[in-house]
Structure 1
Amino acid sequence: MSKGIFVTGAGRGLGTDILRQALAAVRRVVATGRRPGPVGGGADGGQLRGAE
């Protein structure tokens, strides 16, 4: 079974930093943010997919 990481608060600040580290460490990352739209501030190089 492959492992993944769930990051809350990835829209800005510390959550974005944690998201960057998670993306570097594992293949599967689920990230949430308070506001609709992209999370992570470009942390993924444009590879994150959003859902509403």
Structure 2
Amino acid sequence: MAPATIVTTPEADATALARVMRSRHVLSVPVLHDGALVGIITRRDLDRAGLSVGRAG
């Protein structure tokens, strides 16, 4: 069975998203608005914004 897919919205809190991505070892998360894909957030995006995702340890 595949793990649940993590998605986010444009309004989501970036710090909380960074925490989830780190804890679940996720490299990227699709961004949905009204059910449509509007972007993808990556660990690198969050690192560039000053929100260190790093590696969970």
Q: Where on the TM-score scale, by shorter chain, does this alignment land: which range?
A: 0.3 to 0.5
Structure holding more helix per residue: 2
Structure with higher strand content: 2
Point out which structure has higher relative CO (alpha carbons under 8 A, 6+ apart): 1
